[in-house]
Amino acid sequence: MGKVSIKSEIDLDELFEEAVKFTIYVKEASASLLQRQFEIGYARAARLLDQLEVGGVISEPLKWHITPKNEGKINRNFSQVKAGSGIYCYETESGYINYEKGPRGKILVEVLSNNEIKAEFQQGSCGSTFAFSDPKTFER
């Protein structure tokens, strides 16, 4: 398990990284939403919400600045990404990420259907090749 630092370190819930990905995908967060998605109780969902806030996931400022591109597999305009077109990699432009608030790394995304994506946060940058190691599937 990782740690988030504010004034002191706190142990992160083992669902923290999945909650980050899910929250980014649905663009909202609430205890009831986390309860339903992860089949957990209210107390654990509330603690996850606290960790998402401390980690800068559900608080300002915006952590990632991406200029969408009209070609290629890196930072591709998401409206152009279609089911069956493979894995796309999203990374922030240098100088735009707030390392005290947001996670460093890249997010890999594959659209499976109009209602389903596969996603995974990984350390590092997109580079020339990228692949899932342990992706999660999210449904709308």
Report the b/e string of 6-33 with b at 16+ CB within 10 A.
eeeeeebbebbbbbbbbbbbeeebebeb
CA dihedral sign of residues 43, 44, 49, 50: positive
In a domain, 104, yes or no: yes
Q: How many domains does the chain have?
A: 2
Structure confidence at residue 5 (pLDDT):
38
Are 85 and 126 members of one domain?
yes
The mean pLDDT of the chain is 81
What tokens appear for 139 in the block? 């449904």
Residues 87-95 have a mean pLDDT of 78
Are 46 and 84 members of one domain?
no
In a domain, 38, yes or no: yes
Owning domain of residue 97:
78-139
CA dihedral sign of residues 59, 111, 37, 16: negative
User: CA 74 to CA 69: how far, in whole Å?
Assistant: 8
**Position with higher pLDDT, 104 vs 40:** 40
Residues 41-58 have a mean pLDDT of 86
Are 117 and 84 members of one domain?
yes
Structure confidence at residue 52 (pLDDT):
87
Q: What is the CATH number of the domain that holds 31?
A: 1.10.10.10
In a domain, 85, yes or no: yes
In a domain, 120, yes or no: yes
Say if residues 81 and 70 touch (Cβ distance below 8 Å). no
Are 39 and 85 members of one domain?
no
At 7-44, the pLDDT tens digits run 334 578 999 999 999 998 988 889 999 999 999 999 99
Say if residues 115 and 140 touch (Cβ distance below 8 Å). yes
Structure confidence at residue 127 (pLDDT):
84
Residues 51-78 have a mean pLDDT of 78
Between the CA of residue 20 and those of 23, 53, 71, what are the distances in Å? 5, 10, 27
